[in-house]
Amino acid sequence: MSDPAFQPTHITPSEEQIAIQRHRGRLLLVEANAGAAKTTTLALRIAQALQRGAEPQTVLALTYTAPAVAALKERLAHVGVPRATVQQLRIQTFEAFALGVLTQAEGTKTQVVTSHEQVRPYVVRAIDMAQSMPEERYPEELMTDATPGNLVEGLLKSFDVLKGRMVFEHLDPEEGLTPQLADELGFGYLTMRAWRCNEFIRKGGHPDRPEFRFDGDGVYDLARMLLTGEIDAGDTALQLGLSLICVDEMHDVNRAAFTVLKAVLAAHPRAGFVGVGDRDQVIHSQTGAEAGFMGEHFTAEIGQPTVLPLTQSRRFSPQLARHVGALARKPYAADAALHTAIQLAPCESHRLAAAFIARLAQSHHQQQALASLRVLLRHPAQSVLIEHELLRLGVPYGAVGFAPYLERAETLLVRGLYAYACDDFTGFEDAAQRAGLLDALLLFSGAKVDSIELRHLDSTEAQRAAVGEASASLDSTRTFIEAHVLRSANAGARRRLEAAMAVLRSNDIDAFEASFLTALDALALATRVFVRRQDAEQVADNIAQLHRVAVAEGTGVDGAFRLFSAMAQARRRLRANERVVLSGIEAAKGLEFDHVVIPHLSQGEFGDGSAENRNLLYVAMTRARCRLTVMHDTGRPSRFLKDAEMTGPT
Ligand SMILES: Nc1ncnc2c1ncn2[C@@H]1O[C@H](COP(=O)(O)OP(=O)(O)OP(=O)(O)O)[C@@H](O)[C@H]1O
């Protein structure tokens, strides 16, 4: 039968790519290194299906993140699939796909809860419930010194693991839950009991569907219903008439997602399947992501796939491939025609690194040869100094995966405390700026807006209404801080806020340097209001960086805060920019940039030596096309740099 090949624009596919594009077997897996053209080849395979006559809406491509969805769409357009057709393809995250199937199966849309703060009260209730069960056989195992609020953060992480790995679903239903069993499974007894209560609460007493779904609950609920038989492959919600099913970034697949995938494949026995991934890009192993889902589990539970190779990086040079190969301890080939400049920039201090990056960004704007400059950061707090230097030089930039430092709630908290303590509201001239400041103060003080007129609104709406009214003028802003924030703050927060304001009021830079951070105790403040410890730590890190910047300015306390206001004005004036972007590494997965800069690679700065951190650095380094700049203190390089053989001259 004649099968004319789809002819892509912009690229000439290799023999390996053509073999994958034109493959006709049912199950195909491609495991290949970063940059070896997995996403592009998936796009070619989809284009070939369209060429063979498949309707766009019968092609499903699943990924884990929204940026990965965007990247696949971009590749499809790049190889020549018309944008209008790309829009008709079903390219979705696993979570969005599962929510769609559930809506269909349940006949109604369930509320989706997106923030940890929204889900927190439910988890607190679950802990209370677990600790007060009348028939509990091991009550002493459930007692702890921590308050429920302080347990939430750890529990949510454990819940992710329980969901991703489907731990409960794989237990023998006859076997009761005991502390010993919990221990064997690697979870605390309280965690497992609280999980059960949390699920009970989430169901809200409704027989058919839960009251709400939090991130990841869509895939989990669908996977669970598939396992219990509430939904099966024959269900109309899964009969989507698909002709081709694809998974990009298969290294992110966990048990729950795999269960969904299995059912979609079973529901479409005539559809082709192509999955692509790279086991060294597993950066979500805590939630059960496992390379086995592209290997032994796939063969055992779905069938024997054909495995086809993509052997060469088409993104970067053989020299960079050698370094990342050494880091990941695997062979790594690359197209010999590609050239990637590798620059090891020595930087003894973070301040020097920030100044260096700002100059690099400035010259990037002045040239046309390279399009994108992406600075990849392990932690958002690392952006504070860099952004400060960029703003000082007036260099336009964007931020992805985290808010720019001047817009973070903790920055507004510190600036707001100064403004109120010293009655200097420079930089808060308009109502929107004052509203941001009040929201930040309310968040960290733990104060609740409570007024008789607003009792008919829920707490979020009541706060919005009160802040909207108070921020209308400077006077009402001051009064609100006095009457609603400080007076009704919880005792611990109020003590810390007052102490920090006393330091600011002294306008003594030495006192500020020595005691501001201790007075505010940002970690304690944030731990009370953030569910995840890592979020609280990030707040504390951000404030520490802000403090460092203020001290280093050498212009006194008032001088430093005026500068922050000026920087905030400057930031608003700068055009939004996509050529120079600071971002987290997770947000860069699946993407590529002409010039990648990775600062903070001195000893201990890239986290511990875990496989997950190694994989994060692997992902970061493999985003570069034409140039990679790696920055560290030459006297004390990170062990990962040593492993990548990047400490000497390159
Ligand atoms: N035949 C080709 N000729 C030239 N360049 C190609 C070819 N195929 C792919 N590329 C380019 O190679 C680069 C890497 O491709 P792609 O993003 O598909 O790799 P990947 O394996 O999915 O990467 P990652 O693992 O990082 O997600 C892209 O710039 C792409 O345009």
* pLDDT bucket at 288, cuts 50 / 70 / 90: confident
Query: Does pLDDT of 310 surpass 80?
Result: yes
Q: What is the CATH number of domain 15-106+220-310?
A: 3.40.50.300
Q: Is ligand 1 within 6 A of the CB of residue 387?
A: no
* Distance from residue 580's CA to the centre of ligand 1 (Å): 22
In this predicted structure, the answer to whether residue 650 has a pLDDT above a threshold of 60 is: no
pLDDT tens by residue, 493-536: 999 999 999 999 999 999 999 999 999 999 999 887 775 677 88
Q: Determine contact, residues 551/512, Cβ cutoff 8 Å.
A: yes
Q: In whole angstroms, how large is the CA radius of gyration of the chain?
A: 27
Which atom, in ligand 1's list, is nearest to the CA of 34? Answer: 25
Determine the distance separating the centroid of ligand 1 and the alpha carbon of 590, expressed in angstroms. Answer: 10
pLDDT level of residue 475 (50, 70, 90 thresholds):
very high
150-157 average pLDDT score: 81
| Cβ 315 under 6 angstroms from ligand 1 | yes
Q: Can you tell me the mean pLDDT for 402-417?
A: 94
**Non-local CB neighbours of 241 within 8 Å, separated by 6+ positions:** 58, 268
Could you list the beta-strand ranges (E) of 11-58.
27-31
Nearest CA to ligand 1 atom 15: 37
User: When comparing pLDDT for 96 and 533, which is higher?
Assistant: 96
Exposure string over 490-507, b if 16+ CB within 10 A, otherwise e = eeebbebbeebbebbbbb
Cα–Cα distance, 210 to 197 (Å, whole number)? 13
Check if 385 has its Cβ closer than 6 Å to any atom of ligand 1: no
Q: Is the CB of 36 under 6 A from ligand 1?
A: yes
34 is in an annotated binding site: yes
Centre of ligand 1 from the C-alpha of residue 44, in Å? 11
Distance CA 219, CA 228 (A): 14
At 451 the pLDDT is 64
Of 3-7, 33-37, 72-76, 114-118, minimum mean pLDDT range: 114-118
Residues composing the chain: 650
Ligand 1 atom at shortest distance from the alpha carbon of 619 = 26
pLDDT band at 553 (very low <50, low <70, confident <90, very high): very high
Q: Tokens for 66, please give them.
A: 């929204």
pLDDT at residue 578 tops 90: no
Asked whether 77 and 263 are in contact (CB, 8 A), the reply is no
State in Å: Cα 313 to ligand 1 middle. Answer: 7
Question: Looking at the predicted structure, is the pLDDT value of residue 295 above 80?
Answer: yes
355 Cβ contact partners less than 8 Å away, ≥ 6 residues apart: 389
| Residue 592 in contact with ligand 1 by CB distance below 6 A | yes
Task: Say what the pTM is.
Answer: 0.87
Q: Where are the beta strands (DSSP E) in 126-184?
A: none
| Atom from ligand 1 closest to the CA of residue 78 | 31
Confidence of residue 453 (pLDDT cuts 50, 70, 90): low
Three-state DSSP class for residue 350:
helix
Q: Is residue 93 in contact with ligand 1, taking CB distance under 6 Å?
A: no
Per-residue pLDDT for 68 more than 80? yes
**Which pairing describes strands 90-93 and 111-113: parallel, antiparallel, or unpaired?**
unpaired
What is the CATH T-level fold of the domain 318-397+575-643, as seen in this structure? Answer: Rossmann fold (3.40.50)
The structure tokens 């807006």 sit at 449
Mutate to test the pocket of ligand 1, among 314, 317, 374, 376 (most ligand atoms within 8 A of CB): 314
* Complex ipTM value: 0.99
- Indicate the pLDDT class of residue 380, thresholds 50, 70 and 90: very high
pLDDT at residue 649 tops 60: no
Q: Which atom of ligand 1 is nearest to the CA of 8?
A: 1
Q: Where in the chain is the domain with CATH 3.40.50.300?
A: 15-106+220-310, 318-397+575-643
Exposure class string for 437-473: b at 16+ Cβ within 10 A, else e:
bbbbbbbbbbbebeeeebeeeeeeebbbebbeebbee
**Beta carbon of 323 within 6 Å of any ligand 1 atom:** no
37 annotated to a ligand binding site: yes
Q: Is 404 within 8 Å of 584 (Cβ atoms)?
A: no
Helices 533-553 and 556-573, packing angle to 10 deg: 110
State the chain's mean pLDDT as an integer.
Answer: 92
| Ligand 1 atom 6, closest CA | 314
Which atom of ligand 1 approaches the CA of 281 most closely? 25
Q: Which of 16, 30, 40 to mutate to test ligand 1, by most ligand atoms within 8 A of the CB atom?
A: 40
| Interhelix angle 509-520/533-553, nearest 10 degrees | 170
Which residue is closest in CA terms to ligand 1's atom 23?
35
- Strand 27-31 versus strand 212-214 pairing type: unpaired
The angle subtended at Cα 224 by Cα 220 and Cα 225, nearest 5°, is 120
pLDDT bracket for residue 205 (50, 70, 90) = low
Using the predicted structure, report yes or no on whether residue 2 has a pLDDT greater than 80: no
In short, whether 39's Cβ falls inside 6 Å of ligand 1 is: yes
Distance 35 CA to ligand 1 centre (A): 5
**Is 345 known to sit in a ligand binding site?**
no
Q: Ligand 1 within 6 A of 465 CB?
A: no
Alpha carbons 89 and 583: distance in angstroms, whole number? 29
Taking each helix axis from N to C end, the angle separating 148-165 and 533-553, rounded to the nearest 10 degrees, works out to 120
pLDDT at 456 over 80: no
